[in-house]
Amino acid sequence: MSCISRRLERFSLSRSALAVLVLLVIGATACQQQSVGQVEPDAATVLTGLRIIDGTGGAPVEQGTIVIQDGRIVAAGVLSDDQIPASATTVDLAGKTVMPGIIDAHGHVRAVDDQIPMREDLLKRLRVLADYGVTTVVSLGQLTNDETPEVATLRDEQESIADLDRARIYTSGPSIQGQKSPEEARASVAQRVSMNADRIKFHMGDGSPREMSADTYGAIIDEAHKRGLRTYSHIFSVQEANEVLDAGIDVIAHSIRDQDVGQALIDKMKARNVPYIPTLTRDLAVFIYEDTPAFLEDPFFLRGVSLYSEEIPTLTSPEYQQGIRESEDAQAIKPALEQANRNLKILSDAGITIAMGTDVGGGDGRWQGYFEHVELAMMVEAGMTPMQVLVAATGAAADVSELDHLGRIQPGKVADLLVLDANPLDDILNTREIHSVWIAGRRIGAEGTN
């Protein structure tokens, strides 16, 4: 497949002709740069001796081999000798387990440090994510309008950087909130398209009465679909879930937290294959800092301390913690999280597609990198099996995010891999036993950090 057509895969052809034209130009430039670096194709890399959890939910392969060339997986499984190129560089990973790099289907990557250039701030966060094995993040809500083109540039660059050393990123631009009319709603979608966002997110509004009328949020969804973009909604209740489903939503981006979901809602989700992203750690972060949580001293947490140290003093201050203890809103999230756990189990058992998401980077103490692993453990705690949770964080997250080139260890997919010293099917906490992280077929931080 040509570079340009691969680039267009991520975008529906129904986007405006102008946007497509711009992409073709950018794509052609990227291809030129890429082809210069590929006059001599990379020698293949072969990883051997691995247990392979491929992201599909299929039984793991023991003693598997993965062949990687030019950043993509060429073959994976129990391979015969003739499937392994003679000139390949072989890496013996006997006893290790490999899974696709983790995809966070609902995170945030925002530049909040005004002491350094925006691009450097974003890259710093993406590198911490990658160090934790989170190789892709879908940022569902930028802080500012001018952040969005910067993130979109990072997104477009990542397709052609051979030695990418950070998580891949996709973005909705700022979440749409509080639009007063369908016309305003359509204009806000158009604005995000002009900022080069690749999906659309909106808030129903946490208050009552609803901030946006049905006509207005319906116009957001309709306008996004006309432009070929997927829509995500921030919701809280069964009623809000019903309302956005009736309006044609593509992804429910938070837990339903007010009551058990019933069969009617499940049927509605199934009828259009609408997936569900629970973001359990988002709710945890609302109340957990009423005291100083023990995990702040966990060595695996401290792996990200270069980034996290910015926020720790706030979260451990007596005033902040007292504020959480005395906040009715914060305390109300405790039962809401219990409800979220129940609904995750109900929806997973009902066969609804679940994608792992966290809302990391979207507020205080939502740790980019560490909390993806906490989310996985909380999903198991809620009643999903480790295999179901690993699929939610890899293959299903790719499907839900429409990132067909990511999320599975299969021929043709990008070789973003998380190699572990222990098997996460035995214990989900073993996703933290990181041996190495590979992005586009190259081990990152090979000289020390990993």
**Rule CB under 5 A: which residues touch Zn ion?**
140, 359, 362
d(CA 377, CA 288): 16
Q: What is the amino acid identity at position 59?
A: A
Using CB atoms within 10 A of its CB, is residue 275 exposed (0-12), middle (13-18) or buried (19+)? Answer: buried
- C-beta closer to Zn ion: residue 275 or 386: 275
- C-beta closer to Zn ion: residue 30 or 102: 102
- C-beta closer to Zn ion: residue 361 or 441: 361
Residue 11 Cβ, how far from Zn ion at the closest point, in Å? 23
Residue 139 Cβ, how far from Zn ion at the closest point, in Å? 9
Residue 248 Cβ, how far from Zn ion at the closest point, in Å? 21
Helix (H, G, I), strand (E, B) or coil at 38: coil
Residue 175 Cβ, how far from Zn ion at the closest point, in Å? 7
- C-beta closer to Zn ion: residue 174 or 362: 362
- C-beta closer to Zn ion: residue 304 or 357: 357
Helix 147-158 vs helix 118-131: crossing angle, to nearest 10? 50
- C-beta closer to Zn ion: residue 71 or 365: 365
Residue 362 Cβ, how far from Zn ion at the closest point, in Å? 4
Q: CB of 424 within 8 A of CB of 390? A: yes
Helix (H, G, I), strand (E, B) or coil at 419: strand
CA distances for 370 relative to 166, 295, 424, angstroms = 15, 10, 16
Helix (H, G, I), strand (E, B) or coil at 62: strand
Residue 232 Cβ, how far from Zn ion at the closest point, in Å? 9
Using CB atoms within 10 A of its CB, is residue 250 exposed (0-12), middle (13-18) or buried (19+)? Answer: buried
Cα first-last separation, the chain: 34
CA distances for 111 relative to 52, 143, 144, 237, angstroms = 36, 8, 9, 30
Q: CB of 256 within 8 A of CB of 235? A: yes
Residue 108 Cβ, how far from Zn ion at the closest point, in Å? 6
Residue 138 Cβ, how far from Zn ion at the closest point, in Å? 10
Q: CB of 274 within 8 A of CB of 252? A: yes
Six token digits for residue 395 = 């293959």
**DSSP calls for 212-225:** S-HHHHHHHHHHHH
Residue 91 Cβ, how far from Zn ion at the closest point, in Å? 37
Q: Which candidate, 195, 201, 200, 198, places its Cα nearest to that of 147?
A: 195
- C-beta closer to Zn ion: residue 203 or 432: 203
- C-beta closer to Zn ion: residue 31 or 220: 220
- C-beta closer to Zn ion: residue 55 or 362: 362
**Pairing mode of beta strands 89-92, 45-52:** parallel
Residue environment code for 200-233, b if the CB has 16+ CB neighbours within 10 A, otherwise e: bbbbbbeeeeebbeeebbbbbbbbbbebbbbbbb
- C-beta closer to Zn ion: residue 109 or 154: 109
Residue 116 Cβ, how far from Zn ion at the closest point, in Å? 24
